Amino acid sequence: MKTLQTNASIVLDIGKTNVKLSLLDAQANTLAAQRCPNNIVQDGIYPHHDTDRIWAWMLRVFSEFSRIATVTAIIPVTHGATAALVNDKGLVLPVLDYESDLPEQENSKYRPLRPPYQQSYSPDLPAGLNLGRQLAWLESTYPSDFARASHILMYPQYWAWRLSGIAATEVSSLGCHTDLWDTNRQQYSSLTEQKAWTPLFPPMQKAWSRLGKIRPTLAMETGLPETCQIVCGIHDSNASLLRHLHNAGTNTKCTVLSTGTWMIAAALGASQACLDEDADMLANTNVLGEAVSCMRFMGGREFATLAGQEPVSCTLSDIDKLIKQGSFALPCFAESGGPFSGQLARIEGQAPDNMQERYALATLYCVLMTDYCLNKLGSVGDIIVEGSFTNNPYFASLLASLRPQQSIKLSNDTSGTTYGAWMLHHWEHLPRMSESSVAVAKLEPAAWAAYKDQWLDLVASR
């Protein structure tokens, strides 16, 4: 049998829209990558994640990757607000989609159980975005199935468990607007204790902990080495934060803007005093067990609604035209989350004439929403943009023109989640990563400032 010369690790990155597998070498160079849609199964007892399809696809890709390099580790990273109820036979219930609307009568039963906001810093969110609400509904609606569960696994750890057989809990997913975690004391919340769910959570492990080797049957099926280690895993926006925690150290204040389906601004070193539950502001918990003030909206989802599913990039002239003619996109173009959740979206002024102008309006909207969130957070210091919006030619430069008091920098990796997960496998020997500074967009300053002020007035008057 031929021995492969290159050692590499696989990052399993499950986002809300897509699932991605990346094969990265010891220098974080991507040797191969594949992705597939993260489709939700709408039939069955409730809308749920298609874990069987993801699993079958994943094993096929593992087999392909095993012929490229010697895989030494697999690291799962996933979106939040998701958990799996399992026993030794597998799932006892399908993994509920957090965008599923739960019955209002169940919500009214749940709200009195929620911990105070100043305990969890978890806002009251729609649908199943508070994981505690999901669990309470599942327990109430499917009591016999729920009772068969031996573990509640956060979503990254569910995949780690399927790969290794070792059950674990990790704080970054547990401390992400779940209602299950006391952010101040960094322990389980009053809800978790009251519902007697605490024993269902396996022992706490660090995100970078190696839980064990891949199951021997999976090694045989995929061609991966039996020595391949399964890393505990991490919540995706916390994965995006890792490189900046490493670069900034403990005393530097900066804001990391993780962009994708969700646009999440995480203000390192900021106080929780500014957090406002009604504006969908929250404190996540990072991998070190520290509270991080955050604000977010579904920027990627809203951009796609405005620009179209197959967007056509614009020019700066298209942006300038929309500014001068007073074309505004007013929130909210997504059903979940954000400071204007529940408000009816609309276009004010002349609508875009073509696909390029739709792209321009979507860009303007996301820039203004991001600026609004950064102001609410009291963001100071550098702003580092990472993720899919680093590919937008105007997003960062427009944001820089609105925030001259701060330096806007682009991460040199478009997938902070992938790189952050890779970091977990190299925790003791991490290189510093560089960012590139962004030049200010060349727009007429007075017109751009007036456009922003008018957008804010329109938003405030609704």
Across the chain, what does the average pLDDT equal? 92
Whether residue 70 is predicted with pLDDT greater than 80 in this model: the reply is yes
- Domain boundaries 248-460, corresponding CATH code: 3.30.420.40
The one-letter amino acid at 150: S
- In angstroms, the CA 14 to CA 109 distance is 31
- In angstroms, the CA 339 to CA 456 distance is 13
Express each pLDDT in 325-375 by its tens digit.
Answer: 999 999 999 977 799 988 999 999 999 999 999 999 999 999 999 999 999
Q: Which of 38-47, 252-261, 406-415 has the lowest mean pLDDT?
A: 406-415
- In angstroms, the CA 267 to CA 285 distance is 12
Whether residue 185 is predicted with pLDDT greater than 50 in this model: the reply is yes
- In angstroms, the CA 287 to CA 311 distance is 35
Q: Which string of DSSP letters, residue by residue, matches 164-206?
A: HS---B-HHHHTSS-SSEETTTTEE-HHHHHTT-GGGSPPB--
Q: Which residue has the tokens 């389980």?
A: 188
- Going by C-alpha positions, the residue among 435, 440, 45, 427 that lies closest to residue 208 is 427
pLDDT, residue 431, reads 57
Mean pLDDT of 203-217: 97
- In angstroms, the CA 124 to CA 135 distance is 15
Whether residue 19 is predicted with pLDDT greater than 80 in this model: the reply is yes
At 204, list the tokens: 């706490």
pTM: 0.84
Whether residue 411 is predicted with pLDDT greater than 80 in this model: the reply is no
pLDDT, residue 458, reads 96
- In angstroms, the CA 62 to CA 222 distance is 6
Spacing of C-alpha 94 from chain mean position:
21
Whether residue 116 is predicted with pLDDT greater than 80 in this model: the reply is yes
Locate all alpha helices (DSSP H) within 166-235, ordered by sequence.
171-174, 190-194, 216-222
Residues of the chain with pLDDT > 90, as a percent, come to: 78
Fold of 7-232: Nucleotidyltransferase; domain 5 (3.30.420)
Whether residue 412 is predicted with pLDDT greater than 70 in this model: the reply is no
Whether residue 441 is predicted with pLDDT greater than 90 in this model: the reply is no
pLDDT, residue 1, reads 41
The residue ranges of every structural domain in the chain are: 7-232, 248-460
* 3-class DSSP state of 153: strand
Spacing of C-alpha 2 from chain mean position:
39
Q: Do domains 7-232 and 248-460 have the same CATH topology?
A: yes
Q: Which string of DSSP letters, residue by residue, matches 30-41?
A: EEEEEEEE-PEE
Inter-residue contact 228 to 219 (CB < 8 Å): yes
Locate all alpha helices (DSSP H) within 249-354, ordered by sequence.
299-307, 316-325
- In angstroms, the CA 224 to CA 59 distance is 10
